[in-house]
């Protein structure tokens, strides 16, 4: 039982490097199941979600070896087509093996993910898409049972779901015939998955656009691939720099993947300098209020909504945040309110009335991004903030405390069973 203790008020400056994207690495690991042989993934973040995904792959018969930030996945022989509940319950993203198993083995038995703390997160779009590819699906006893093989078809997604687009891509690369995925998600992580699959020999056109066309091939070959930089981790450190006055430079990601976020940071009064492999942020005056609404890429990412809310909590006026992607993603507001933030929630709107200062308090990490946002708030709050339930943060941020410390923050992990330490 650890907590993060933050003593606010120290200036943040310097350079921080982000790792490979969590949301890409997990899907690339699943995609490795499609190619018999040893796939090598580089720039894989050392986070707990990757460890859970490695366990999922091992249960399916693959052998996973990690050396530093490189994973080798030997998927020569798969021995199971079941992703069991005990693993899916720990990480919802493990459902992305569904498409890969249908592609490789023609069948899959994957536990249904339950609700999670940011919303109900259904899988109906995944299922409808797979059915259009000719896969028979039944959902019984808490499992999705898929019987293929898949064949090419025209699939229209009712919402550009990231997970559904990924499952359909993986199910269709080895299917007979042409598949067209319309209203596909356009996130950079989709483009990264399509790059890996294309390097393996898949025939994919249009990844990163709303229409993806896949012509099925008969086999894929294991390859060596480096994970795209994590735009959400990058955005988190840039918002930390914006909360303080910086300058903070974040490297290891493509700033084009954060276009709308950088624009909103500029509207909030920050100076942003874009580089080929990163960006630098600084701020002179008070934070200005700005309205944001979360949307599928290239819109404002829902994963940066909580960190941005922490920033707007200190703005010189009121801002409206509209959350369009996950229905329950405002629980962070209740925690930051304990630090003096003035936030009113009405359905999927949040009215954030800026206050001159936040005050350090004990708070609980509600989820991955909300937890990181509480630490950011603590960096600029008066006094000490103690953030508990930090296992959420460990799911997605490698070396969060070390990276913030290197920028000059007073932040450390403590064992909360030891009251003296906090």
Binds ligand UD1 (CB under 6 A): choice among 6, 53, 97, 123: 123
Classify strands 270-275 and 278-283 as parallel, antiparallel or unpaired.
antiparallel
Coil, helix or strand for 280?
Answer: strand
- Side-chain-side CA neighbours of residue 19 (13 Å): 21
Strands 278-283 and 107-111: unpaired
C-alpha angle with apex 315: 229 to 357, nearest 5 degrees?
105
Of residues 130 and 204, the one with the C-beta less far from ligand UD1 = 130
Q: Is the peptide bond before 227 cis (omega within 30 degrees of 0)?
A: no
The yes or no reply on residue 26 touching ligand UD1 (CB under 6 A) is: yes
Contacts of 173 (CB under 8 A, 6+ apart): 34, 103, 197, 202, 203, 204, 214, 216, 217, 220
The residue within the footprint of ligand UD1, chosen from 17, 81, 104, 126 (CB under 6 A), is: 126
Determine if 193 is a binding residue for ligand UD1 (CB under 6 A).
no
Q: Report CA 158 to chain centroid distance, whole Å.
A: 21
349 binds ligand UD1 (CB under 6 A): no
Asked if 163 interacts with ligand UD1 (CB under 6 A), we say yes
Task: From 39-47, 162-170, 337-345, 376-384, give the range in contact with ligand UD1 by CB under 6 A.
Answer: 162-170
Site string for ligand UD1, 129-158 (x = CB under 6 A): ------------------------------
* Among the listed residues 93, 135, 184, 194, the single contact to ligand UD1 using CB under 6 A: 93
Cα angle: 311, vertex 291, 372; to 5 degrees:
30
Q: Which among 119-127, 271-279, 339-347, 371-379 is the span making contact with ligand UD1, rule CB under 6 A?
A: 119-127
Instruction: Confirm or reject binding of residue 124 to ligand UD1 (CB under 6 A).
Output: yes
The residue (of 228 and 386) whose beta carbon lies closer to ligand UD1 is 228
Measured from the CB atom, is 308 or 326 closer to ligand UD1?
A: 326
Q: Please check whether residue 82 is in contact with residue 141, taking contact to mean a CB–CB distance below 8 angstroms.
A: no
Active site residues: 116
Q: Considering only residues 269 through 298, tell me which ones interact with ligand UD1, judged by CB under 6 A.
A: none
Instruction: Please identify which residue in the block is written with the tokens 């992607």.
Output: 325
Site residues (vs ligand UD1, CB under 6 A):
23, 26, 93, 119-126, 159, 161-164, 185, 301-303, 325-326
């Amino acid at each position: 039982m650890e907590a993060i203790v933050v003593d606010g008020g120290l200036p943040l400056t310097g350079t921080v490097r982000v790792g490979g994207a969590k949301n890409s690495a997990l899907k690339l690991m699943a995609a490795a199941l499609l190619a018999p042989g040893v796939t090598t993934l580089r720039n894989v973040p050392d986070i707990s979600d990757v460890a859970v995904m490695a366990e999922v792959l091992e249960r399916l018969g693959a052998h996973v070896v990690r050396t530093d930030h490189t994973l080798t996945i030997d998927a020569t022989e798969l021995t199971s087509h079941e992703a069991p509940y005990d693993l899916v319950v720990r990480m919802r993203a493990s459902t992305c093996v569904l498409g890969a198993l249908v592609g490789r083995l023609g069948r899959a038995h994957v536990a249904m993910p339950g609700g999670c703390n940011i919303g109900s997160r259904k899988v109906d779009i995944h299922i409808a898409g797979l059915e259009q590819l000719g896969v028979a699906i039944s959902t019984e006893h808490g499992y999705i049972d898929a019987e293929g093989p898949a064949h090419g078809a025209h699939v229209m997604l009712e919402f550009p779901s990231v997970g559904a687009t990924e499952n359909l891509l993986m199910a269709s690369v080895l299917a007979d015939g042409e598949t067209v995925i319309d209203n596909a998600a356009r996130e950079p992580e989709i483009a990264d998955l399509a790059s890996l699959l294309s390097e393996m020999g898949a025939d994919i056109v249009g990844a990163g656009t709303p229409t993806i066309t896949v012509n099925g091939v008969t086999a894929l070959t294991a390859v060596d691939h480096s994970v795209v930089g994590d735009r959400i981790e990058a955005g988190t450190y840039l918002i930390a720099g914006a909360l303080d006055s910086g300058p903070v430079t974040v490297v290891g990601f493509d700033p084009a993947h954060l276009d709308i976020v950088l624009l909103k940071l500029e509207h909030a009064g920050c100076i942003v300098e874009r580089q080929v492999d990163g960006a630098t942020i600084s701020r002179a005056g008070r934070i200005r209020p700005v309205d944001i609404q979360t949307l599928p890429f290239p819109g404002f990412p829902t994963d940066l909504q909580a960190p941005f809310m922490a920033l707007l909590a200190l703005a010189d006026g009121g801002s409206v945040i509209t959350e369009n992607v996950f229905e329950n993603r405002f629980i962070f507001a209740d925690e930051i309110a304990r630090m003096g933030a003035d936030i009113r929630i009405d359905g999927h709107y949040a009215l954030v009335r800026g206050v001159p200062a936040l005050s350090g308090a004990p708070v609980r990490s509600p989820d991955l991004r909300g937890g990181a946002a509480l630490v950011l708030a603590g960096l600029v709050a008066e006094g000490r903030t103690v953030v508990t339930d930090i296992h959420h943060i460990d799911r997605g941020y490698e070396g969060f405390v070390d990276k913030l410390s290197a920028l000059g923050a007073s932040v450390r992990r403590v064992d909360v069973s030891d009251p003296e330490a906090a």
